[in-house]
A and B are shown apart, each in its own frame.
Chain A
Amino acid sequence: MRSPDYGIIDHHKDIHSKQVSLDLFRRICLSRYFDYGSISAVQKQILNYMVYLSLGQESISAAVSKATKGFMVFSQHRCHDIYLSYGGDPKKMRDELVGLPTGTSRGRAGSNCIQCHTSQATMFGHHGLIAENVPQAVGAALGSGKPVVAFFGDGSAEEDYVFASLGFAVTHKLPVLFIVSDNNLSILTKIDVRRSWKITDVAKGFGMPAVDITDDPWSVYAKTLALKKTLPALMNIYTCRKNWHVGIGVDGPPEWDRFALVKDKLKELGYLKYALKIESKIKNDIQRLWDKKLLQKRLNQFRASIS
């Protein structure tokens, strides 16, 4: 079942339009190149703290965010892409990662705790207990009556309080969209070693609409548009993590490279030349964002001010 084309929507005139396609691609590129910048910063020793990279999984948040504008967001430790896809300022996230007081949490929380509270987006981050964001998302929906999206992984989906959260959301008919980024890894342990059941079956057992789908952004976008009409609902999205659970290391090539597949699709649709322009601009902007000299100067100034 887990494959790069499971549940894929081959072609739909609205979903595969130029506007939608390029917007999805822009969001993917922003997350992707930001994380490449993070890797470079680690290698150059400007960034000396733990990083939880979204590389390989960015198409999920790109697609879901486009379909859920205005939702409150509760994310987990792998959240750089989520923050950027919902309109977060890359400068503030960069500052958070390196520990500057101009960061999203004033440099106190770091890569796995990114928050955003602006007129554009409300995103509550994570502190450290896996899936802690899921019951909080449910509580926020209960308390506010507003729609909420909770992002978590296939490992988090196994936490007992996630089950309780799904059940509660169904019982109280809460407007929560549960998004499982299923990269098949809990750190390094695969799903078939950990469990024999599927989270979509659990969600369906509670009476919630639930689908498995691959991380093709057009398909995820289409499915999100459909599911958000019948909340609470759950999507388990097959994806591939490119780097380690934490850090910039790589164990081996992922099962599939969604970014390359997206570019293939863009070429097929006739949008590739526009996409390449977008990619080039974003790449340059992000390179400037992670400029070592500039960042080192700011870090030195900050450290001098607190010493």
Chain B
Amino acid sequence: MEPVALPNAPATYGADIERIEIELLLEGVYRHYGFDFRSYAYASLKRRLWKRIQAEGLPTVSALQERVLHDPHMMERLLLDLSVNVTAMFRDPTFYAAFRQKAIPVLRTYPFIRLWHAGCSTGEEVFSMAILLEEEGLYERARIYATDINEVVLQQAKAGIFPLDKMQEYTNNYLRAGGKRSFSEYYTARYEGALFNPSLLRNVVFAQHNLVTDRSFAEFNVILCRNVMIYFDRPLQNRVHELFHGSLTNFGLLALGSKESLKLTEFEDAYEPLDAREKIYRKLG
């Protein structure tokens, strides 16, 4: 059966009015709740907004604004819409394979390894990296910080339960990423889903942090921010890159999503590629 709702404005909706309404909504959200979506990439943001508008049975962006400003539960739902990036464990297996091959040897030389998953969402990447570090014998030395704008999503990541029907895909990804064991060793199948070993999180701290508005809070050897900044416009990407640059040790590593790039950002020359294809960069001293 085909999915129903069209998550976008009817074609006759005046484009200029729509832009005004969206800007007003985002301004209202910022002033009232402190979440700043004003510098998000417009087209993908708009699509997510309309999905929520239609899910709520509302006629316009302005109607959504009215609800959001007066109903914090509405804001919670909207926040989930705008900030949750469900991904897959070992998404882009070639990235993890490259990380194993090129980044791990570098990290092996450090007595302690501090990693930051910036925008960790529901935690798939956190578990993937924990498994990888475990298999490479580096987990004990690792201190991992996983942050996200959204508390609800952080709780979900902490719980470590993922849909059972995803396990086959994740297993395939894991193997192609150079996984050394049997993926099923890392979880137990329960009624509510696949529960991943809590011990994988023993060196992980989850904390709320807003990439847009919050400052740097520590220095890291590795920052992973994959397929998070695609939702930001270019000026915001530059601001976040400034945050990352200031949060990395010299020769620290920055990992982006497979179709993201430092090119056209202000920080292109502040890094050299460790793996250009997999978007793993090393900060120049």
Real binding pair: no
Taking beta carbons and an 8 Å cutoff, which residues of B are in contact with A? none
